[in-house]
Structure 1
Amino acid sequence: MHVQGSFVARTRRTRGWPAAWPAWIVVCMPSAASAHAWNIPYYLPVPLWLYAYAATGTLMVSFMILAFAPGARVPDRRGRSGTRTKALRIPPSIVNAVQAASAAFVVLLIVAGLAGTANPFLNVAMSGFWIWFYLGSLYVGAILGDLHAFTHPFALLLRIAARCFPVLERGRYRYPPRLASWPALGGYIALIALELFGAGRPRDVSLFIVAYVAYALIGACCFGRERWLVHCDTFGLLCRLCAKLSPLKWRRGANGYVIVEPRNPIADMSRDAPADTSVVAFLTFMLSSTAYDGLRDTAAWNTFFWRSIYPHIVGVLPSLGKNYAFSAEILLTWQWLAFALVGVAYFLLFRGCCALGAIGTQSSSGGAFFSRRFCLILLPIAFFYNACHYFTLFWDQGRQIVRLMSDPLGLGWNLLPVAAPEDQVSAAQALVNVGYIWHAQVLLILAGHILSVMLTHAIAMRSGQMAGRAIVGQLPLLVLTIALTISGLWILSLPLA
């Protein structure tokens, strides 16, 4: 999802790829490279390939330290013996109040989209849903833990509805185990399709939320409230996955209290049972959809279509050569097809690397089981790339919360004591130095991939295999991690069309 304010850069092609280690020496040396952010020219201090090689070297060093350093061990999530950790106890009244507020916010989004202005910049439905409800839930979960599990607005809706219609509590049918989390993936695909191919109208957001509420009620009626929340709820699964990155664990205690206690996320994830194939597909789609969103509006991607794809279509159907209106429909069809192909390609790429890893460990379970065991290594990569992708959008639109809540329908209200327009910070004053944005994105991508390397090693060590085989099995996943690092930096560096 590109808006004005998203950072893009472009680097010149350079012949020859020097060795990785000299990149550490020259990484601080200035060099010519062009980039743009907010339509402001920006020159990278060094060419993009130096960033790529420096990131590659960092990942390789991290892998070698974990694999060969004698003191590198996976920490035990139970902590040291005799050590007591302090836990925070949250009263149920506070949790219930936050959940009620989140449900009221969802109702506000529906009303604003249906009854408010059609201007997406003045209606709270657009920023409220995409920035605060969708992205905000993911980022809060990754930092503070699975708060969403206790404040989920749709869970409150189903609980209230189940009191009126008891069938929603139990459901009419037994949930088929083969479905696993595939319904949640279907909802996720619909969500991203709305983001990528929707018209950007507040009304569309409201209709999507209404459709999701109907989906929740129908699913609960068929399989029961708890089953729907566990297997079919897209937002619930997204938040549960991102919360695995958090150093805080949330659980229900006695008398309705919620207990929040520290934990080691790497150790906890390494102990998780192998996930279902549907979760593998969910994580690969989480990564591929963000990558495609960043790629589809770039100059390189559009040039590829108009110079490499469209001429072949016109060659088969010459009448389309002068029908410029129909060419837009062809472009839209190509975008849908590419959206599907990129998702499938990421899934097959991960499965292929896992098959090589299974061969390297001489495992009899095969690549499918290997991918289910190691699929969580995609989580930090996908999450941090998501944070990079929406970095400027979150900064630009997230700070509008007070103004939009003061006038949620965009009808000229002033419900909250906000500053007058002339006293507010101007768009130019709110801009962040473009160099800071680029380097923050580089560091975020690198941090996600380093966590992925650490998690790969932790899972391999927990599997009980011989050290040599475990290291060999990690090599294909290390290559995949390096490839994703370079491709992520490359996509972020491309100029918009």
Structure 2
Amino acid sequence: MTVTQRLTRINPVVIAALPGAARAHASEQGFVLLLPTDVYVPAGASVVALTVLALVLLPPRAFAALFRPVAWVALPRLRGAAMLTSLASTVFLAGLLWLGLTGPRDPLTNPLPLTVWVVWWIGLVALQGLWGNLWRWIDPWRGVLALIRAEGWRAPLHLSPRAGSWVAVALFMGFTGFVLADIAPSDPGRLARIVALYWLAMLLGAVLFGPRWLVAAEPLGVLMRVYARLAPIGRRGRHFALGWPGWQLATRRTPRAGMAAFLLVLLGCGSFDGLNETFWWLAKIGINPLEFPGRSAVVLPTLTGLLAANALLLAAYGAAIALGVTLDRDGPGFALTFRAQAVSILPIALGYHVAHYLPGFLVDAQYALAALSDPLARGDDWLGLQPFYVTTGFFNTQSGVRAIWLAQAGAVVLGHVLGILLAHRIALCHHATPKRAILAQLPLALFMIGYTFFGLWLLASPRGA
């Protein structure tokens, strides 16, 4: 019995809410939150505002110590281990592509879309921010490139870090456009061809420009590495180090303009990913949310909205930075402050990523587990899970939905709190006195408080696409 067949035993109201997961990528949300948001939203924003107040009261030395890591244990030398695990990851990816082309056509039973959109895009991205750089071990290009270079190949072209960052921005915008606007991003065969073409294109870039391409220009690897720097566990020399989340960002040099733009685009794309599903957005583009005509009817509005959302975010962030520079004219200039403070946006982007995809992950992770046990949908039971029933019972009770919403709201609020703390730590390094740092940071803090309202509103808004 397939997972789809098992679902027929579940409440038909629940089943009616699930096709949205197959219509878009496999992680769409499937329920509307009917909770007292007039209480939760102000409460969440108040937590962020109180954090700003705490910055005024906390002594600068104590605050600096907050982001000072503690060395833990020495790192063993594992020469060649990352290359071997990367090659294994490449073989695993090839198997997924084969299953995408030859396996079941249902995105909820084929392992390829479930692995890409659930395990990788939701689960692994979140783990990067919690546990560190796991991507280093499963990067599917690193091992292949090492073998090519071992044969004596040297890149004929040079890629500057400055240009690489802007390439990453453009490619990530293209990736998000595919996720949001493609007519069937979860179709196994279609996704297999797209992933294969992307893998080949990035390998070609690495062959032509060398390993720097994977470090600076390949956007998914860049995303993984920057989120990993939020993790409390990191590397300090040849030791593991443990510290406050974000300590690795606070101790790194100021990013280049392209990387600063990339960090802001992460938040802009994530925000629009939620906005474009809301009744509000659908009304703006003339779509009845209760009679959604299909993704092919909204391709152009989606792409236009994606570009506009990122432009508005950059403008709002830039205005906050400009106002802060005006308040402390003796501090660093606009360009340096814009680049330095962009890293404080990163925890906000990750917090919203976790919150936005949590409901879909709770359901689709079960499909992924079932597909792992029966990858060809032939009734196999490799993991001994039979009979396996996908449950959505936690959506049917007020306590279940409340727990999910509180987890989502908590992720958003914690992301903003960490962002404000990180922004203040950075400001202390660039301003003459703590008072000037706080004064210059106030516009950015107000921007973050406003974005807290926006993020919580997105989570609670009815969705129709």
Instruction: Tell me what 2:24 maps to.
Output: none
| Cα deviations by residue, 1:209-259 (Å, 9 ceiling, x for unpaired) | 2122222222123211x2112111212111111111111114785xxxxx5
Unaligned runs of 5+ in 2: 1-16, 22-28
Instruction: Kindly provide the CA deviation profile for residues 104-138 of structure 1, in whole angstroms up to 9, marking residues without a partner as x.
Output: 22112211122222211111110111112233321
Letter in structure 2 aligned against 1:73: F
Tell me, in whole angstroms, the C-alpha distance in 1 between the residues paired with 2:68 and 2:429: 14
Report the equivalent of 2:382.
Answer: 416
Q: How far apart in 2 are the matches of 1:270 and 1:73?
A: 12
Question: 1:222-371 counterparts in 2 under 5 A?
Answer: 222-224=208-210, 226-250=211-235, 260-306=240-286, 331-363=298-330, 365-371=332-338
Out of 147-156 and 341-350, give the one that drifted further.
147-156
What is the deviation of 1:326?
11
Task: Say if 1:6 and 1:390, in contact at 8 Å, map to a contact too.
Answer: no
Which residue number corresponds to residue 15 of structure 1?
Answer: none
Tell me the equivalent position of 1:406: 373
The answer to whether the Cα contact below 8 Å between 2:145 and 2:207 also exists between their aligned partners in 1 is: no
Q: Secondary structure at the match of 1:75?
A: helix
Residue of structure 1 equivalent to 2:7? none
Deviations 1:160-203 (A, max 9, x none): 23334x33xx3112224541311222221222122112213112
Q: Which amino acid aligns with 2:231?
A: S
Change (3 A) 1:329 1:129: closer
* Alignment-mate amino acid for residue 65 of structure 2: P
SS in 2 for 1:218: helix
CA RMSD in angstroms, aligned pairs only: 3.0
CA distances 1:63-90 after superposition (whole Å, capped 9, x unpaired): 111222337422175558xxx6334647
* Residue 73 of structure 1: aligned partner: 63
Distance 1:6 1:356, change over 3 A: farther
Contact 1:381 1:445 in 2 (8 A): yes
Shift of 1:157: 2.1
| Structure 1 contact 87–262 (Cα < 8 Å) conserved | no
**CA–CA distance in structure 2, aligned partners of residues 4 and 363 of structure 1:** 56
For 1:430 and 1:376, how far apart are their aligned partners in 2? 36
Paired position in structure 1 for 2:9: none
Q: Is the 8 A contact 1:6 1:393 kept in 2?
A: no
> Share of identical aligned residues, percent?
24
Please tell me whether residue 62 in structure 1 is matched to residue 26 in structure 2. Answer: no
1:254-280: CA deviation from partner (whole Å, max 9, x where unpaired): xxxxx5332444443222211112112
**How far apart are the structure 1 equivalents of 2:295 and 2:194?**
25
Distance 2:295 2:120 in 1: 32
Tell me if structure 1 keeps the 8 A contact 2:41–2:456: yes
- Where do 1:135-146 residues align within 5 Å? 135-146=122-133
Residue 462 of structure 1 corresponds to 429
Whether the aligned pair in 1 keeps the contact of 2:231 and 2:246 (CA below 8 Å) is no
Alignment correspondent of 2:137: 150
State the Cα deviation string for residues 423-473 of structure 1 (Å, max 9, x = none).
323424465711111111111111000001110111111224222221111
Q: Please, what TM-score do these two structures have when normalized by structure 1?
A: 0.79
How far did residue 475 of structure 1 move? Answer: 0.5
Bigger relative contact order (CA 8 A; separation at least 6): 2
Alpha-carbon shift at residue 416 of structure 1 (Å): 0.8
Displacement of 1:5: 9.3
* Partner residue, 1:133: 120
Going from structure 1 to structure 2, the CA distance change for 1:454 and 1:78 (only over 3 Å counts) comes to: closer
Structure 1's 369 and 408: CA in aligned 2 closer, same or farther, altered over 3 A?
Answer: same
2:91 equivalent to 1:110: no
Match of 2:391 in 1: 427
Could you tell me whether the CA contact under 8 Å between 2:30 and 2:360 is conserved in 1? no
Question: Which one-letter code corresponds to 1:75 in the other structure?
Answer: A
* Residue identity in the other structure for 1:66: L
Cα gap change, 1:329 to 1:406, in 2 (>3 Å): closer
Q: 1:124 to 1:456 in 2, by over 3 A?
A: same
1:129–1:205 contact (8 Å) kept in structure 2? no
> Structure 2 vs 1, CA of residues 147 and 282 (structure 1 numbering), >3 Å: closer, same or farther?
same
SS at match of 2:150: helix
Is residue 145–residue 243 contact of structure 1 (8 Å, CA) maintained in 2?
yes
> Compared with structure 1, are the counterparts of its residues 231 and 306 closer, same or farther at alpha carbon in structure 2 (3 Å cutoff)?
same
Residues 72 and 241, structure 2, Cα contact 8 Å, conserved in 1 = yes
What is the correspondence of 1:378-393 to structure 2 with a 5 Å cutoff?
Answer: 378-393=345-360
**Quick one: distance in 2 between partners of 1:99 and 1:274?**
30
Give the aligned residue type for 1:107: A
Q: Answer with 90-99 or 66-75: which moved more.
A: 90-99
Please give the secondary structure, in 1, of the residue aligned with 2:73: coil
Match of residue 122, structure 1, among 87, 97, 109: 109
Is this contact kept in 2: 1:357–1:474, CA < 8 A? yes
AA aligned opposite 2:147: I
Contact conserved, 1:120 with 1:126, CA < 8 A, in 2? yes
- 1:496 is paired with a residue whose SS is coil
Q: Could you tell me which of 99, 102, 124 is aligned with 2:86?
A: 99
1:352–1:367 CA contact under 8 A, matched in 2: no
Please tell me whether residue 192 in structure 1 is matched to residue 206 in structure 2.
no
> What secondary structure sits across from 1:261 in the alignment?
strand
**Does the CA-based 8 Å contact 2:278-2:463 persist in structure 1?**
yes
Structure 1 pair 5–115 and aligned structure 2 pair: CA distance change class (3 A): closer
Instruction: Give me the whole-angstrom Cα distance separating, in 1, the residues matched to 2:373 and 2:294.
Output: 43
SS at 1:74's partner residue?
helix
Aligned partner of residue 234 in structure 2, secondary structure: strand
Structure 1 pair 424–306 and aligned structure 2 pair: CA distance change class (3 A): same
Q: Give the distance between the partners of 1:38 and 1:208, measured in 2 at CA.
A: 26
Which is further off, 449-458 or 347-356? 347-356
Does residue 1:221 correspond to 2:207, yes or no? yes
Alignment TM-score, normalising by the size of structure 2: 0.84
Cα pair 1:355 1:368 within 8 Å, conserved? no
Aligned length: 433
Structure 1: how far apart are the matches of 2:421 and 2:449? 13
1:180 counterpart (141, 148, 164): 164
**Matched position secondary structure for 2:240:** strand
